[in-house]
A and B are shown apart, each in its own frame.
Chain A
Amino acid sequence: MNKNLGTTRDGFGKALIEIGTKNAQAIVLCADLTDSMRANWFKEEFPKRFLEMGVQEENMVGVATGLSLEGKIPFACSYSTFLINNALGPIRSSVCYSNANVKLIGGHAGITTGPDGATHQALEDIATMRVLPNMTVIVPADQEEARQATHAISKMIGPCYLRIGKYEVPNSTNPDNKFEIGKAKMIHEGPDITIVTCGNLVHIAKEVAESMCQGKDGHRDICIDVINMHTIKPIDKETLLKSLKKTRALITFEEHQIAGGLGSAVLEVITTSDPELLSTPVIMMGINDSFGQSGSSSQLLEHYNLDHKSLEQAIIKVVSLKRRKEK
């Protein structure tokens, strides 16, 4: 389909070396998943600033807190489901309550993690991280965006959660459209419906938008606003509301539990911003209160209705609801 494939974890790993070269305060901690988190590249370059923690997440987050109190910039890396779920106590009270400058890097996030199965597919991490005061939550869409996001979080001061994965996706963001924390990217424009998405699904939304706008596959022309909401907290209300006031139809699209994730964050904005938007037809696409399972990434996306076809069907449904309402 596309030659330009890459993973968000590769973008993260590349950025770490660049940051390590420029900033002597950068320290990387990893809980026995060094190669898999792409922290091995930093380790090879800067062995003295790499801390192999062994299989322990709570202590890793605590040690990262202590490092940050002394002015270091610690990047604590593990698979998201272990990092977030095992170390939620220290993340809440040691890191967030102190507003400590700790960067939490969660790998293998989302259903696209694939064959490892449900134990390794983080599907609740966005929800748990975004309810914590002081926390910034970022989900990059492709390798280049992950690289830029890693640079951005190394420069901001305060706790941050970066959600990355191992699924190979095409570069769907324009590398010249610089990543800025809290500033969503409009990657496709149209008046009919708004799709808000993040992470590994951004490219799917973009491809669907491109194909539907051209009226391929027998569809009527539907032209779509696709918002890459890479920063889930603080969320970009302005871009979101501007688009919704134009389209008056919404789909949220994420590889995460529907409860508490990107979709919930978007609806929180709508319900508290503009009473007129409350009648907007909405479909929230995500994992519907279940665990994942083993399978290839593309099989799982299809199984959990997060593939191109499912998105197209949802678009047609929401747009027809909207048009019926308008008549």
Chain B
Amino acid sequence: MKKMLAQALTGKKNQNPHRQIGNKVHIHKKHLNIIHTRDEIRALATLIRKEIVLMLLESGSGHSAGPLGMADVFAALYFGVLKHDPLNPNWEDRDRVILSNGHICPVLYATLAECGYFPKSELKTLRKIDSRLQGHPHYLANKIENSDNAISHPENLPGIENTSGPLGQGLSQAIGVATALKISQKPNYVYCLMSDGELQEGQNWEAFLYAANKNLNNLTVLIDRNGIQIDGYTEQILPLESIVNKLSSFNWNVYVINGHHVDNIIDTLEKSKAHRLGPSVIICQTTPGKDVDFMENLPEWHGKTPNKKQTKDALEDLRSLRGRIWWE
């Protein structure tokens, strides 16, 4: 195990999409029933965090805390649950991931690269001119007539399914996607990722109200409950609690989990998918800036990036995980 950890964290450049961890070769094709062990998923989350820190150093602007906080959820979703094929991003049977809080896109980009959707070297172009990795994700709809499969435009970054940035707009899009799949009687499942601060936007409540009464049992929403937003702590800026009561009273099937506990995340995602009576929402309690000591829980790291020295410290934190044994 230690050998695997050492290789995973310090290790060789990985070949995408065939990755080597230890002495096992993994192909990220969930539909081929090649499933990562949960220890591997935990290691992948740390790799994703490292990529995030390096990307943000390179870009010099962007968001740090949210992406680091959601690395475990993204790793669990993409490597443990999602039906997708990085070699064929337009695969008709794939599940859809709609990101609503676009500012955490470094974690999405790093995860997609880790899956093998595009070369990891491209992560360095984040927020640079002419990059496919826009500061907030851009998805261009494809001009294909009479196709009822969402086929990505060739200019898009492979793996992304929607434009995202202005808070409050993603859930409605996810509901539209889920509705279209229902109308076409397709079994694909839809995941929507949101933030907690974003719940202050009214459009979300229109969407929560709407979806609960439309029997959309092909939709699970994951809310990053990290407690911070740009101006400070959510409960000081505009308190959201009790989110559970609010969403339950809107007739949603609500779960609350530790958003860093990979087993918990995967098990709950599977439970929510098995729930057939309507849409589900999973409130993922996370630590913003997770595993980078000087960033954790501080709103000031919501919208800023580390400098060189801080990046070195952050990578050191991630390498050692501050002496904790990470798989416990």
- Which A residues have a C-beta under 8 Å from some C-beta of B? 25, 27, 48-49, 51, 53-54, 56, 58-72, 74, 89-90, 93-94, 97-101, 157-158
Contacts and interface: CB of A to CB of B under 8 A. Distances in A.
Nearest to A71: B148
A147 B116 CA distance: 48
A54 to B, nearest CB: 7
A89 B166 contact: yes
B203 A58 contact: yes
Interface string B141-171: 1011111111000000000011101101111
B143 A58 contact: no
Given A62-B207, A69-B150, A72-B148, A94 B163 contact: yes
A92 to B, nearest CB: 8
Contact of A69 (B145, B166, B173, B210): B173
A51 B179 contact: yes
Contacts of A60: 172
Interface in B199-218: 202-203, 206-207, 209-210
Nearest to B172: A62
B138 interface: yes
Contacts of A48: 183
B158 to A, nearest CB: 15
Given A54-B209, A58-B203, A94-B172, 18 more contacts: A48-B183, A56-B206, A56-B210, A59-B206, A59-B210, A62-B173, A63-B172, A63-B175, A63-B179, A66-B98, A66-B172, A67-B176, A71-B148, A71-B150, A89-B166, A93-B166, A98-B139, A157-B143
B143 A98 contact: no
Contacts of B165: 93
B181 interface: yes
A32 to B, nearest CB: 12
A89 B169 CA distance: 8
Given A56-B206, A72-B183, A94-B163, A62 B176 contact: yes
B150 A70 contact: yes
B162 A69 contact: yes
B178 interface: yes
Given A90-B169, A158-B143, A66 B202 contact: no
Given A27-B183, A67-B180, A90 B203 contact: yes
B179 A67 contact: yes
Given A49-B183, A66-B179, A70-B177, A59 B203 contact: yes
B10 interface: no
B298 interface: no
Contact of B180 (A72, A97, A100): A72
19 contacts: A51-B179, A56-B209, A58-B168, A58-B202, A59-B203, A59-B206, A62-B207, A64-B176, A66-B178, A67-B180, A69-B150, A69-B162, A70-B150, A70-B184, A72-B148, A89-B168, A93-B169, A97-B163, A157-B145
A27 B174 CA distance: 16
A-B pairs, top 9 by smallest CB distance, nearest first, are A66-B176, A62-B172, A70-B180, A59-B206, A71-B148, A63-B176, A56-B206, A58-B203, A66-B173
B9 interface: no
A63 B173 contact: yes
B161 A69 contact: yes
Contacts of B140: 98-99
A69 B177 contact: yes
Question: Which among B166, B176, B177 has the greatest number of chain A C-beta atoms within 10 A?
Answer: B176
Contacts of A25: 146, 148
B25 to A, nearest CB: 34
Contacts of A72: 148, 180, 183
Contact of B210 (A53, A99, A100): A53
B232 to A, nearest CB: 24
A156 to B, nearest CB: 10
Nearest to A65: B173
Contacts of B146: 25, 71
Contacts of B172: 58-63, 65-66, 90, 94
